[in-house]
Structure 1
Amino acid sequence: MASFEEKVCVFNDIESKPLGDLWFLEESSDSREDSPQRINNLYWESQLTLLEEILERYQMTGSKLRKEVDGIINSIKTSDYCSCFKPNDSYNCTICLRRRVATILCDRGFTANLCTSKWKATDKFPGGSHEYIEVIAVTATRKKQIRLLIELEFKEQFQIAKACEEYRKLVSCLPQFYVGKPEHLTTIVRLVCEAAKKSMKEKKMYVGPWRKSEFMQMKWSGFRSFSGAPNVVVTVN
C-alpha cells in the first residue's frame, strides 16, 4: 500500500502534467472545453481526500497529549498570561502562550522543550527562525521514545489572502494547533503548500519562497535534504 508521501507525490505529479497527457483521467465527453475544469475539480477533490486520510492517521497518535494541550491553552487564556507586554496585542501573544504551555507540561510530568530552528538566507530562501515545542513521550512498555511536535499557530501558517474557495476549504480542515508526529506534519505541509501554489497561480499571485514546502518544513524539523537549502540549526531551551 502506498504511503501518504507517495500518494501526495502522485497527485502533485498529475497536476503538473500538460492537459494533453491527462486523457486517461477524463470520462468520455463530446466537448474538450470542460476538460480543464474537470481536471481542476479532480485535483482539489483528491487533495481533500488525502488530507482527510492524513488527519485521520494523525488523530491516532498523541491523543492524550493533544487533550492535555487543549485544556492547558483554554486555562491559560482565561488569565493575563502575557509577560512581555507587546504594544500590539498582548492578549494574543503566542510567544508567552507557547512558553506557558511548555512550562505547565513540564510541571505535569511531561518531557517538554522549547526548540528554535534558525537558518541563514540563501539565493533561494530568506533567512529566519521559528520556535515550537517538542515533547518526548514513551510507549506503554517504556522501551521506545516518541518525538511529538506542538505548533500553536499551525492553521495560521497556511492562511492566504484572496485564496480560491477550494484552498480555503482545504485549510479549514486543519487543526488550529498541531500536536503529533513530525512525519505527519511533513506530509500535511507538503500537501497544503502544493495546494497553496496552485491557488496562487490561479489567482495570478506571486508565489514567494516562504510559501514553498521546503521552507515551511525548516520551521519544525531542520529539513535540509533538498538542493539549495540553508543549514538549519535547532537549539533546545
Structure 2
Amino acid sequence: MYTPLYIPTPLKPIFSSKSLFFLATPSSSFFFKRMGHLIEEKALGDDHQRGDSLEEKISLFFDEEDEELDRNSEGDWADDEAANNELHDPIERKEFWDSQEALLLEIMERCNSMGAKLREEIGRVVERARETLVCSCSKSNSDECALCLRRRVVDLLCLKGFSASLRTSKWRHTHKFPGGSHEYIEVMASTPGRKKQIPFLIELEFRTEFEMAKACDEYRRLIAQLPKSYIGKSDYLNAILRVVCDAAKRSMKEQKIHMGPWRKRSFMQMKWSGYNDRKQPSKDQPWNKFSLSGITAAVVVK
C-alpha cells in the first residue's frame, strides 16, 4: 500500500506515488517512473536515509540511460498519430500536467531543505542588493540592470564573509545550438563531515528564463511555482530543468509552435555549467568558516 503524496495548498490535487508509474507520454514516461521512486522514498522511507541518498540518486537519474531520454525528449512527435492523439486526450493531458507539477514541487521541497539557513541568508543579501542597486552600466535599458545587480550581489556577499564570485558559461556555435555565454553567481559552502566544498548556484532571474509568450495555461501555472531567484545545488537545478523543459516542449506541441533550440534542456543546462572566470582568493589570505544551521560557508578573513 502506498502512502499518498499531498500537494501543499493552494494546489488541490492529491496523488499517489504509484500513479506516476503508469504514464505513457513518450517524452516523460521514463522520467516519471524514476522520479516516482524518489517520491515513494519520501512517503515510505526514513528521513535521514532519503536525505543522504537524494544527491546520489538524482545524479544517477540524469546520467543513466541519458541517450534513451534524449531520443524521446528531443524527437518530434508531430508525425506520430498516436502521440498527437495523446496531446489532446483530456485524461492524459490532465495526468501529464498534474504529474509535472507534483514532481516540480517535490524537487523544490528537497532543494529548499538543503542548507535552509544558508539560503535564507543569501536571499536577504539578494533582496538588499535589489533595494540599493544603482546601475553604473551605460548599456542598461532598464531600471534594474542584471549585469550590475549580479556584481552588487557578489560585493555584498563578500562583505558578509561569503566566498562568492561570478561564473561565466561559454559554448560554441554548432549545427544544433547557437553559440553564446551566460553569467551567474557561485557561493562555495561546506557541510559537516565533508572536506570538499559544495558550490551553490545563484541565478537572480531564474523564473524569467522559462517564460514564454504563447504558452498554455498549465505551463504558466507550472513556472509560477518557480522562485524568482534560484539558490541551490546544480543537481536540483538540473532536476528542475528536466521537468520544466519537458513541460515547455509539451506546451509548444499543444500550441503547434516550433520549439527553438534555446528552449531545449541540453541548451539550458549549458547556461549553468561554467568552469572558468572564477576569481579565487590569494594564497596569502587565511580561511575561516562559520556555520549556518548545518551548512558552513567558506569566508576569507581580512
TM-score (norm 1): 0.80
1:133 paired to 2:185: yes
Report the alpha carbon displacement of residue 78 of structure 1 after superposing the two structures with TM.
2.6
Is this contact kept in 2: 1:136–1:146, CA < 8 A?
yes
Q: How does 1:48-59 map to 2 (within 5 A)?
A: 48-59=101-112
Aligned residues: 214
Does the C-alpha gap of structure 1 residues 118 and 60 become closer, same or farther in structure 2, counting only changes over 3 Å?
same
> Letter of the aligned partner of 1:74 in structure 2?
E
- Ranked by relative contact order (alpha carbons within 8 Å, sequence separation 6 or more), the top structure is 1
Report the alpha carbon displacement of residue 182 of structure 1 after superposing the two structures with TM.
0.3
1:81 paired to 2:98: no
Report the alpha carbon displacement of residue 178 of structure 1 after superposing the two structures with TM.
0.5
2:33 corresponds to which residue?
Answer: none
> Letter of the aligned partner of 1:160 in structure 2?
M
Is this contact kept in 2: 1:19–1:36, CA < 8 A?
no
1:184 corresponds to which residue?
Answer: 236
Q: For 2:131, what is the secondary structure of its paired residue? A: coil
> Letter of the aligned partner of 1:96 in structure 2?
C
1:63 paired residue among 116, 125, 131: 116
Does the C-alpha gap of structure 1 residues 87 and 53 become closer, same or farther in structure 2, counting only changes over 3 Å?
closer
Does the C-alpha gap of structure 1 residues 111 and 11 become closer, same or farther in structure 2, counting only changes over 3 Å?
same
Q: For 1:135, what is the secondary structure of its paired residue? A: strand
Distance 1:131 1:137 in 2: 20
Q: Deviations over 1:50-109 (max 9, x none)?
A: 0010001100113223212221222223324211143511x2111111111111111211
Is this contact kept in 1: 2:86–2:93, CA < 8 A?
no
Which blocks of at least 5 consecutive residues in structure 1 are unaligned?
22-31, 223-232
Aligned-residue sequence identity (percent) comes to: 48
Does the C-alpha gap of structure 1 residues 19 and 39 become closer, same or farther in structure 2, counting only changes over 3 Å?
farther
Does the C-alpha gap of structure 1 residues 215 and 11 become closer, same or farther in structure 2, counting only changes over 3 Å?
closer
Which blocks of at least 5 consecutive residues in structure 2 are unaligned?
1-36, 39-56, 280-302
Distance 1:4 1:19 in 2: 33
Is this contact kept in 2: 1:4–1:54, CA < 8 A?
no
1:103 paired to 2:155: yes
1:230 corresponds to which residue?
Answer: none
1:150 paired residue among 202, 207, 210: 202
2:218 corresponds to which residue?
Answer: 166
Report the alpha carbon displacement of residue 136 of structure 1 after superposing the two structures with TM.
0.9
Does the C-alpha gap of structure 1 residues 57 and 201 become closer, same or farther in structure 2, counting only changes over 3 Å?
same
> Letter of the aligned partner of 1:236 in structure 2?
R
